[in-house]
A and B are shown apart, each in its own frame.
Chain A
Amino acid sequence: GNSVTQMEGPVTLSEEAFLTINCTYTATGYPSLFWYVQYPGEGLQLLLKATKADDKGSNKGFEATYRKETTSFHLEKGSVQVSDSAVYFCALKDSGAGSYQLTFGKGTKLSVIP
């Protein structure tokens, strides 16, 4: 079956530090990959996506590249801000017919301190 593995949190960084949150996946076929963000007290929001190998998704200074050879989709940001404090979820959608749900990772909590 499909699975998504994220690095264990919590991750605590100082403002302006470089962020990497690791995500690897197991899937049959060629999945689409997503990062969602959940700010405190809110629902999840789609942050970025990539639908095929070597695609780079980007949004709000965050980037992730779909690496088929390493089955990874690591989230990066060059300089984090306090407002980036949130829980980040990596997710995949299988490419198979009849695939109607997302498989989520367990989430990684990020805290950015001034």
Chain B
Amino acid sequence: DTAVSQTPKYLVTQMGNDKSIKCEQNLGHDTMYWYKQDSKKFLKIMFSYNNKELIINETVPNRFSPKSPDKAHLNLHINSLELGDSAVYFCASSQDLGQVGEQFFGPGTRLTVL
């Protein structure tokens, strides 16, 4: 039974399109995260939510909008996709904000913008 799942696993789209990536965790955790990993494997935090409340909102273009309908879900919507958005996006969760060091990661969504 997958702990943190993401859909889709691969996403190929044209510049200018709008797309969403979904994330669900069945661990009962309070805190969820979105990361972007570039081609050199560098990992950058984008957002974190705790009990549906936005906690971290790093310097990310406002074309990226997270939405947390409930504690178990954190979706990422991206408007007007650009070539530079191509990357692997990871969702993660932790039990709560205090357990930020012990995160469970999803399998990633590889986004390719053409």
Contact = CB atoms under 8 A, between A and B. Distances in A.
Contacts of B101: 32, 34, 46, 49, 91, 93, 102
A89 interface: yes
Interface residues of B, number: 22
Given A100-B55, A100-B56, A46 B42 contact: no
Contacts of A49: 101-102
B45 A44 contact: no
- The DSSP consensus for interface residues of chain A is strand
Interface in B42-82: 42-43, 45, 48, 50, 55-56
B12 interface: no
A40 to B, nearest CB: 11
Nearest to B41: A107
Contacts of B43: 44, 89, 104, 107
A43 interface: yes
B71 to A, nearest CB: 16
B42 A106 contact: yes
Given A101-B48, A106-B42, A42 B107 contact: yes
A71 interface: no
Interface of B: 4, 40-43, 45, 48, 50, 55-56, 90, 92, 97, 100-108
**Ranked 9 nearest A-B pairs via Cβ:** A43-B105, A93-B101, A107-B41, A44-B105, A104-B43, A100-B97, A32-B101, A43-B107, A34-B101
15 contacts: A38-B41, A41-B107, A42-B108, A43-B90, A43-B106, A43-B107, A44-B103, A46-B103, A91-B101, A93-B100, A100-B56, A100-B97, A101-B45, A107-B42, A109-B41
Given A44-B103, A100-B97, A101-B48, 20 more contacts: A34-B101, A38-B41, A41-B107, A43-B107, A43-B108, A44-B90, A44-B105, A46-B101, A46-B102, A46-B103, A49-B102, A91-B101, A100-B55, A100-B56, A100-B100, A101-B45, A102-B103, A104-B43, A107-B41, A109-B41
